[in-house]
Amino acid sequence: MFDSSAVRDTDTSREVKSGPIRIAAIQMSAGPKIAGNLEEAARLLEIAAAQGAKLAALPEYFCIMGMEDADKVAVREQVDSGPIQEFLSNIAKRLGIWLVGGSIPLVSSRPDKVRNSCLVYDDQGKQVARYDKIHLFGLELGNERYAEEETIEAGCGVVALKTPFGRIGLSICYDLRFPELYRSMGQVDIIFAPAAFTATTGKAHWETLIRARAIENLAYVVAPAQGGYHINGRETHGDSMIVDPWGVILNRLPRGAGVVIAEINPEYQASLRNSLPALNHRILHHC
């Protein structure tokens, strides 16, 4: 069980920007070769920056979708060291954007497992936050079987951080099914949910879960996803989207590699929270 009593809240001590802010969600269909995936991620991030995005997010495991689940264990990186982390830092600095680095495999306490970690970099290339995926996906449905616990060590810390774009909360993929995680963050302005949803569960629940998290938290939700057929035979759902605090889908990309761009408007969000102060009407947390 995660520890909701001690949210790791990083304050970047930057002035919050006013007015609409352009953000981007990157959609990919990653393969087993890290170098190729990083090249594709760079191409798409360059497009996002050229379109004026100041904040961008990559999907879960943008850097590797191996032929076997254990492939990510073989390429796991030490903290603050390795080509994937260097890539994230360098491209954030080069493009002058804040970057939510989807997720990458980092070392864990077990030699046969990784931490599935989401790293955030500021526009100077400095890592300012790390979130380790808490909820590990498991599914046995027909011919499909997934058991993330076999290769991933779960995190236990809730992470939110103050940025020039407002207070953001970090989550990864399967976390979307656990609303208590987002409630434990306190009030956040933007929720990030990089994902690699299966085609089966994505078709059934992806849009519903994202819009629900946006509506109940009166927050923007940025959901960059893996989308398409992978060399390992897996099919991911895609449909990367950015949703506003009223549950309106501002932009989406059903399939294939590409960039989803939308503007978030802090003033509009504040007006919604003022008109419908549901976050202040919560009762159960202090009954």
Q: Is the pLDDT of residue 2 over 70?
A: no
CB 195 within 8 A of CB 176: yes
Q: Is the pLDDT of residue 84 over 80?
A: yes
133 is catalytic: yes
For the cut 70, the answer to whether the pLDDT of residue 107 exceeds it is yes
Q: What share of the chain is helix, strand, coil (3-state, %, to 5)?
A: 30, 35, 40
72 is catalytic: no
3-class SS at 85?
helix
**Look-up of token digits 């920056």:** 49
Return d(Cα 226, Cα 35) in angstroms, integer: 17
Catalytic residue chosen out of the listed positions 72, 118, 153, 173: 173
pLDDT of 41 strictly over 70:
yes
Looking at per-residue confidence, does 74 or 146 come out higher? 74
pLDDT of 90: 98
pLDDT at 4: 45
Whether the predicted pLDDT of 267 surpasses 50: yes
Cβ neighbours, 10 Å, residue 153: 20
Structure confidence by residue, pLDDT tens digits, 217-249: 999 999 999 998 888 878 888 999 999 999 999
Burial degree of 217 (CB within 10 A; 0-12, 13-18, 19+): buried
* pLDDT for the residue 15: 66
CA–CA distance, 225 with 265 (Å, rounded to integer): 23
User: Is residue 146's pLDDT more than 90?
Assistant: no
Instruction: Please give the helix or strand (H or E) that residue 116 lies within, else none.
Output: strand 114-121
Q: Cα(131)–Cα(218) distance, rounded to whole angstroms? A: 22
Query: 60 catalytic, yes or no?
Result: yes
Q: Is residue 170 within 8 Å of 159, Cβ to Cβ?
A: yes
For residue 5, what pLDDT is reported? 41
Choice among 54, 72, 113, 133 that is catalytic? 133
Q: List, in sequence order, every residue forming a beta bridge with 130; answer none if it has no partner.
A: 119
Is pLDDT at 109 greater than 50 in this prediction?
Answer: yes
Q: Which pLDDT tens digit goes with each residue over 157-209? A: 999 999 999 999 999 999 999 999 999 999 999 999 999 988 888 899 999 99
User: Inter-axis angle of helices 83-95 and 34-50, to 10 degrees?
Assistant: 10
Active-site position among 60, 77, 148, 153: 60
